[in-house]
Structure 1
């Protein structure tokens, strides 16, 4: 019975199989298909009637290396009547390819002769595609789809061999996205990946199809340009890349612009092996970035020399800290109100045994890259505290020292503790120290930045001053003034250098001073090197100056001498003082200048002279001038043009034209623009001219007096703003302390509430302020207790004559113990006065059963 059912069972099994099954007639030359199960039809897309009678190998792909190897092997196996198993690439009815694992087996007839072939087909397309994806990702970047370092290295080697074989040259471009780090931080990794993918697409479109674009990691792309005829070919590609990257990218729904810097090397000129070329291209990229970004830079041998020098400097710097080769110099800051030294900035120097004294800007970047800046910063902090202690021990007046803080120190959660430990080690108050922080070290307005912002709070709580260094050079200057509780800002020397000749720098400096004062901060001007710069800052209410005009960086011994001598600024450079009347005479005729000097000498003016408009501007740059008297016709620059320029640069001056010629349009324009206060003609009448000039000085003195009053008012407002800022800091700290105390109190209340021991708390007047659950249960029959006098509602706890009634009324005395009967139970009563080690007032009473105490 079972044998009779076997054919039907076999047929059903073949039909139900998930593997494709076909049977071919081996007795015919084409081995036609005589059976195909449903799974085979589903895999191939053919119906049974379309398959029957066709060559069993008709599905196989005959193109490609795989077909060339697999099909002949399959036919040989079939011709020999042997089993065969192999992976084949086939085609479905609709033309789409698929991979199948084919097992072909011969089937003999009852006489042992080969009669049929049975083939079992397994669709492994998904497996093969997964293998192909894995193979692709092993050689390509997942984000951009570009070749990765491994594949790039192979292609570079092939390109070099081809260039050497044909005597040609190739170019290697190393491309870095300039603002990738900022975009990645602002928009997150998703935004950074979008930028890389978009940049990769544009780079591929910027080069030839046979050139290679790869991503080596991070945000650095490399391009291999084969068959480069001259450097101009590489330059042309760079310009194409710049143009391709210029349009905005859409990242996380925002329009963002990006630029690139490019380093270029040529082979064989710069090197013949891939590793050298890549290293040199990276050096050229670094130089391009140093130029400010959006530049291309060819490699030069000097770059390699500079890199080797940097490596040597790093090695020597690692030993410098331990060999005590570092030194501190101190540059004084002068107060523009008193003229005295207000504070010092500690500047680290490296006394190299061969190269001599090396300034910080040469080795600090190396230290940051090498991870040494933390050790150097810690040494600077302790050395500055050591010198401060030495000056105080020498009897010098206390002076504050500012120490520069690196970005790494700013992000260190232990930094505030390190500062406190250094101050404590040398017995210094926090007010003796200021910390200068650059804008680059400040966290940005991100979630991570908000967390880092809290790292500055302990420093402020400690009591050290915080100074924002190099103000104006960062990209978020205004927000930094608002977000951080700085005590002072330092105007970067880049704005001070041309402050008396550049109206833009002058306007920026005045704006910074006003903003800082409104926020209650002091203002320090860095890089002050001339009296004219100092005078400008004095007149516009700057608080402190720092620079070679007052003093160069000094050794600790030189600082002692400076402080002992009490060196100060000249009185005429102080913010509030009466200036001598100063007059500038400008005329190209020397005899006119001499005549005017003789005429005006009796009026006791300080007189400066010039013989041209440019000479006059030079005098104004060096000296503060109240009134200007200028001729009109002068070589090189008309008097109207000179006075117009003087008004632009020195608007506080009063300007008079004294001329024998009247070029009506030029003079009219100057008058209308406010460049000329009065127009007088030659020849002049002596007393009339003296009167006009004296009147000009009177007007100038009125303006100066108004400015002085305004300055005093601004000074008072600044001091009020500073006081308000300090009060806000104190209030914030008090609120934080109250919050902490409340938390501690709640924890203590919770703890006492759950104690099985009865506890009663009294305030300093003997009123019951607290009673825990155990005590409330013990005295539940005594009525309301809270808010009542303890000795009245609980007299059994305060026996007369033992002094405990005094304790109940708030008197402070040592802890005491006595016994009391409460509802027939004997209790030991312990009273603990509070406030011995805290600001708490009142007393705590605890009760314990006598038998428990025993």
Structure 2
């Protein structure tokens, strides 16, 4: 297997597919995740987890990771040349890669070779990699961030990381694991966990991606709860690079009713075991521009709710298998945002009264119905739902603004931290330079851009004496021997401030000795201003 893996790398027998991610605000493709696979001639199609497990076992993780990095960067360069503005490509980083100090250098080198900006590449790092890195984790993440790479915490919720630990790591985004997403529309615990992850991540200024989204109901839940991006078979399976070209050319996108802060269609579910009743209701409501779904019993109704988002439910009471009150009660538990109406010719008061008192039923209407009244009641139910949706939309807008502000604050904090580190490094360098100059046997005097003495080292103090008294004075006035004339000194200072970088040398006699006085303008290779004057022995006068 080791030889086969080496051969696959050398002969490019590995394959890299790309799974598109959709933005829940625009509906468009926002990024691609590189998905590694290997069509092995004996063992069949091996996925990324199997390949990296094998690579770890035979010591080839670095080689596989480099192949993925190089191929992904090449494809990204090609899409960039096709003017796919803002398209980001993500690669998964194995734990051993993440812990390798040379990996960051390899990524930077590959980005430079491929001529792509660091912001176009995202590194997806798992909780297992963070754990394996131990105390080096923070420094490794900071190094990637300093290079301008986008960092994503992958498979969040599958391991043992806690929400409180998110604030420690400088990630740009987190991915909610597919196991959490799978039942968000049917399991209240998974739904609560998903909402909590989204809320905490947004508070910390991170984007949220949901993995493994396979149904419209899951997508709708994520839309309503402020998730940013989705990934999974509902939007697209992994594609070859050539298929990605076609996918992007077609401008494939999510339908408008699944986007955040977009007004959806009015969706109505009619549940009745009598086909003629369902037909009559559909004829009555035909002109109301509702998207109407129908079911013959409660079980069918629940199955349909699991597949399609619904705003208002109108259900019969007496149906085989499950009475309407029980159906509406379960609908309320699983889909509390729906408005539920009972329409029945039977008045089994106890079960109906219990359902009303529990909040499972918004209104109870009787058969036979008055057409105008029934239309009015259903329209009113939609208005109630739309008021709730509008409140949710406004809440989403506020949360979106807060999320953007939190993200901006997080980036500002990172920038401030980097600037503070730079200032600290510059101060250390300055102190070293001052100490070095202070101990040089060569007399050195520093002038600002106005010709005022701001530094004098030990050798210069010994030569001129009273070094402290010289500081803050114009050099041409207190040390005229250093200059051909005072006007020359002033002109030289003005020239230095104006960008003239040629040094000036002349001879001067001090205490009966001849010195070569060299004036070095500052600023040729830095933002420094002013000049340095050095004095070297030039022999007897």
Q: TM-score normalized by structure 1?
A: 0.61
In structure 2, distance between residues paired with 1:573 and 1:375 = 41
Give the corresponding residue for 2:112: 424
Query: Is the CA contact 1:466–1:488 (under 8 Å) kept in the aligned structure 2?
Result: yes
Structure of greater relative contact order (alpha carbons < 8 Å, 6+ residues apart): 2
- Alignment check: 8 A CA contact 1:397 1:563 kept: no
Report 1:189-588 matches (<5 A): 313-443=1-131, 449-588=134-273
Partner of residue 46, structure 1: none
> Alpha carbons of 1:412 and 1:569: their partners in 2 closer, same or farther (altered >3 Å)?
same
Q: Distance in 2 between matches of 1:397 and 1:792?
A: 61
Secondary structure at the counterpart of residue 51 of structure 2? helix
The answer to whether the 8 A contact 1:796-1:821 is kept is: yes
Offset of residue 479 of structure 1: 4.2
The aligned residue for residue 505 of structure 2 is 817
Report the alpha carbon displacement of residue 718 of structure 1 after superposing the two structures with TM: 0.6
1:333 counterpart SS class: strand
CA 801–584 in structure 1, closer or farther in 2 if over 3 Å, else same: same
Give 1:743 shift. Answer: 1.0
Change in Cα spacing, 1:366 to 1:677, as seen in structure 2 (3 Å) is: same
Q: Specify the alignment match of 1:731 in structure 2.
A: 416
2:385 to 689, 700, 703: 700
The answer to which of 793-802 and 655-664 deviates more is 793-802
Deviation at 1:355, TM superposition (A): 4.7
Change (3 A) 1:835 1:560: farther
How far did residue 433 of structure 1 move?
A: 0.7
Secondary structure (helix, strand or coil) at the match of 2:342 reads strand
Q: How far apart are residue 392 of structure 1 and its match? A: 2.2
* CA deviation profile, 1:155-197 (whole Å, cap 9, x unmatched): xxxxxxxxxxxxxxxxxxxxxxxxxxxxxxxxxxxxxxxxxxx
Counterpart Cα distance in 2 of 1:680 and 1:735: 69
Q: Deviations over 1:82-134 (max 9, x none)?
A: xxxxxxxxxxxxxxxxxxxxxxxxxxxxxxxxxxxxxxxxxxxxxxxxxxxxx
Secondary structure, in 3 states, of the residue corresponding to 2:399?
A: helix
Partner of 1:686: 371
When residues 651 and 784 of structure 1 are mapped into structure 2, their CA distance, relative to the original with a 3 A threshold, is: same
Whole-Å separation in 1 of the counterparts to 2:250 and 2:453? 64
Asked whether the equivalents of residues 493 and 527 of structure 1 are also in contact (C-alpha less than 8 Å), the reply is: yes
Distance 1:429 1:803 in 2: 49
> Is the CA contact 2:163–2:197 (under 8 Å) kept in the aligned structure 1?
no
Pick the aligned partner of 1:837 from 507, 512, 525: 525
Q: Residues of 2 paired with 1:333 and 1:344: CA distance?
A: 6
Task: Classify the secondary structure of the residue corresponding to 2:445.
Answer: strand
Deviation for aligned residue 1:497? 1.9
Does the 8 Å contact 1:471/1:477 carry over to 2?
no
Corresponding residue of 1:826? 514
Once the two structures are superposed, residues 365-394 of structure 1 have per-residue CA deviations (whole angstroms, 9 ceiling, x without a partner) of 222222221211111111111111222234
What is the CA distance between 1:441 and its match in structure 2? 1.0
Sort the Cα spacing of 1:656 and 1:766 in 2 relative to 1 into closer, same or farther, 3 A: farther
Is the CA contact 1:640–1:666 (under 8 Å) kept in the aligned structure 2? Answer: yes
SS of 2:469's equivalent? coil
In the alignment, which residue of structure 2 is the partner of 1:672? 357
Moved more, 524-533 or 485-494: 524-533
Aligned partners of 1:385 and 1:422 also within 8 Å? yes
RMSD: 2.1
Report the Cα offset of residue 682 of structure 1.
2.2
Native 8 Å contact 1:340 1:569 kept in 2: yes
Residues 801, 780 of structure 1: alpha-carbon distance in 2 compared, 3 angstrom cutoff = closer
Name structure 2 gaps, 5 residues minimum: none
What does residue 451 of structure 2 align with?
Answer: 766
Would the alpha carbon gap of residues 764 and 675 (structure 1) be closer, same or farther in structure 2, given more than 3 Å must change?
farther
Tell me the equivalent position of 1:640: 325
- Alpha carbons of 1:647 and 1:762: their partners in 2 closer, same or farther (altered >3 Å)? farther
Measured at CA, do residues 763 and 649 of structure 1 come closer, stay the same or move farther in structure 2, by a change above 3 Å? farther
CA distance in structure 2 between the partners assigned to 1:787 and 1:645 by the alignment? 84
d(CA) in 1 for partners of 2:33, 2:472: 59
Distance, in Å, in 2 between the alignment partners of 1:651 and 1:768 is 77
* Contact preservation (8 Å) 2:256, 2:264: no
Following TM superposition, by how much is the alpha carbon of 1:684 offset from its aligned partner in structure 2, in angstroms? 2.1
Query: How far 1:450 moved relative to its partner?
Result: 2.0
Structure 1 667/779 Cα, relative in aligned 2: closer, same or farther at 3 Å? farther
1:846 is aligned to 534
What secondary structure sits across from 2:343 in the alignment?
A: strand
**651-660 or 472-481: bigger deviation:** 472-481
Q: TM-score, normalised by structure 2?
A: 0.94
Deviation at 1:781, TM superposition (A): 4.5
Number of matched pairs: 538
Give the conservation status (yes or no) of the 8 Å contact 1:583–1:606: yes
Per-residue CA deviation, residues 176-222 of structure 1 (Å, 9 max, x unaligned), is xxxxxxxxxxxxxxxxxxxxxxxxxxxxxxxxxxxxxxxxxxxxxxx
